[in-house]
Chain A
Amino acid sequence: MYKIIEKKVLSENVKQMTIQAPLVAGKAQPGQFIILRIDEKGERIPLTIADFDRKSGTITIIFLEVGKTTQQLGTLNVGDVIENFVGPLGMPSEVKKYGTVVCIGGGVGIAPLYPVVKALREAGNYVISILGAKTQNLLILEKEIQLYSNEFYITTDDGSKGQKGFVSDVLKQVIDKKGTINMVMAIGPIIMMKVVSDVTRKYNIKTLVSLNPIMIDGTGMCGGCRVSVDGKTKFACVDGPEFDGLKVDYDNLMLRNRRFVHEEGAACKLVGVVQ
Chain B
Amino acid sequence: MSVRKTKYEMPEQDPKERIHNFKEVPYGYSKETAIEEAKRCLQCKNKPCMKGCPVEIDIPGFISCIASGDFEKAAEVIKAKNNLPAVSGRVCPYESQCEGECTIKKIGEPVGIGRLERFIADYERVKGAKIPQKVTSSEKKVAVVGAGPAGLTCAGDLAKMGHTVTVFEALHGPGGVLMYGIPEFRLPKKIVNAEVDYIKKLGVDIRYDMVIGKTITVEELFKEYDAVFVGTGAGLPNWLNIPGENLDGVYSANEFLTRINLMRAYEFPTYDTPIKMGKIVATFGAGNVAMDCARTALRLGAEKSYILYRRTEAEMPARIEEIHHAKQEGVEFKLLTNPLRFIGDVQGHLVEVEYQKMQLGEPDDSGRRRPVPIPGSEEKIHIDTALIAIGQSPNPLIPKSMKGLTLGKHGNIVTDDDGKTSIPGLFAGGDIATGAATVILAMGAGKRAARTIDAYVKAKK
- Interface of A with B (CB < 8 Å)? 23-24, 27, 37, 41-44, 68-69, 83-89, 216-224, 226, 228, 233, 235, 238, 249, 252, 255-256, 258-260, 262-264, 266-267, 270
Contacts and interface: CB of A to CB of B under 8 A. Distances in A.
A222 B237 contact: yes
Contact of A260 (B215, B247, B274, B397): B274
A256 B248 contact: yes
Contact of B276 (A84, A86, A220, A262): A262
Contacts of B239: 223, 233
A37 B172 contact: yes
Contact of B258 (A217, A235, A270): A217
Contacts of B255: 216, 222-224
Given A228-B246, A260-B276, 17 more contacts: A23-B215, A41-B264, A41-B272, A44-B263, A89-B211, A216-B258, A216-B262, A216-B263, A217-B180, A221-B180, A224-B251, A226-B246, A233-B245, A238-B396, A266-B269, A267-B269, A270-B269
B381 interface: no
B211 A219 contact: yes
Nearest to B172: A84
Which of B208, B255, B264, B400 has most A Cβ within 10 Å? B255
Contacts of B211: 86-87, 89, 218-219
Contact of B235 (A43, A86, A220): A220
Size band of the interface chain B makes with A: 35 or more
26 contacts: A23-B215, A27-B215, A41-B271, A43-B272, A43-B274, A85-B209, A88-B214, A88-B215, A216-B259, A220-B235, A221-B237, A221-B258, A223-B239, A224-B251, A224-B255, A233-B246, A238-B396, A252-B348, A255-B248, A256-B246, A260-B276, A263-B268, A263-B269, A263-B274, A264-B274, A267-B272
A259 B397 contact: no
A41 to B, nearest CB: 5
A87 B210 CA distance: 8
A224 B215 CA distance: 22
Contacts of B423: none
Contacts of A221: 180, 235-237, 254, 258, 395
B377 interface: no
A108 B348 CA distance: 27
Which of A44, A84, A217, A266 has most B Cβ within 10 Å? A217
A87 B172 CA distance: 12
Which of B239, B246, B259 has most A Cβ within 10 Å? B246
Contact of B215 (A24, A256, A258): A24
Given A24-B215, A43-B273, A84 B252 contact: no
B270 interface: yes
A89 B274 contact: no
A26 B397 CA distance: 18
Which of B180, B248, B273 has most A Cβ within 10 Å? B273
B216 interface: yes
Interface string B380-404: 0000000000000001110010000
A97 to B, nearest CB: 25
B170 interface: yes
B246 A252 contact: yes
Interface string B269-289: 111111110000000000000
Given A69-B272, A262-B276, A263-B276, A223 B237 contact: yes
B205 to A, nearest CB: 16
Contact of A267 (B263, B274, B400): B274
Majority DSSP secondary structure for residues of A touching B: mixed
Interface in B399-448: 400
Contact of A255 (B170, B263, B348): B348
Contacts of A266: 269
Which of A37, A85, A222, A238 has most B Cβ within 10 Å? A222
B171 interface: yes
Contacts of B400: 238
A218 B251 CA distance: 16
Contacts of A43: 263, 271-274
B400 to A, nearest CB: 8
A88 B213 CA distance: 10
A256 B276 CA distance: 12
Contacts of A233: 239, 241, 245-246
B392 to A, nearest CB: 8
Nearest to B257: A222
A86 B255 CA distance: 19
Contacts of B275: 263
A160 B247 CA distance: 39
A217 B234 CA distance: 13
A238 B396 CA distance: 8
B217 to A, nearest CB: 8
B102 to A, nearest CB: 36
Nearest to A255: B348
Nearest to A223: B252
Contacts of A223: 236-237, 239, 251-252, 254-255
Contact of A83 (B172, B348, B396): B172
Contacts of A27: 214-216
Contacts of B210: 23, 86
B345 to A, nearest CB: 11
Nearest to A2: B209
A87 B215 contact: yes
Which of B252, B263, B271, B274 has most A Cβ within 10 Å? B274
Contact of A219 (B235, B245, B252, B269): B235
Interface in B180-222: 180, 208-211, 214-216
A23 B180 CA distance: 25
A224 B236 CA distance: 10
Contacts of A222: 237, 252, 254-255, 258
B272 A217 contact: no
Nearest to B253: A223
A86 B246 contact: no
A89 B269 contact: no
Contacts of B276: 259-260, 262-263
A226 B251 CA distance: 10
A156 to B, nearest CB: 31
Contacts of A224: 251-252, 255
A28 to B, nearest CB: 10
A68 B208 CA distance: 24
Nearest to B271: A41
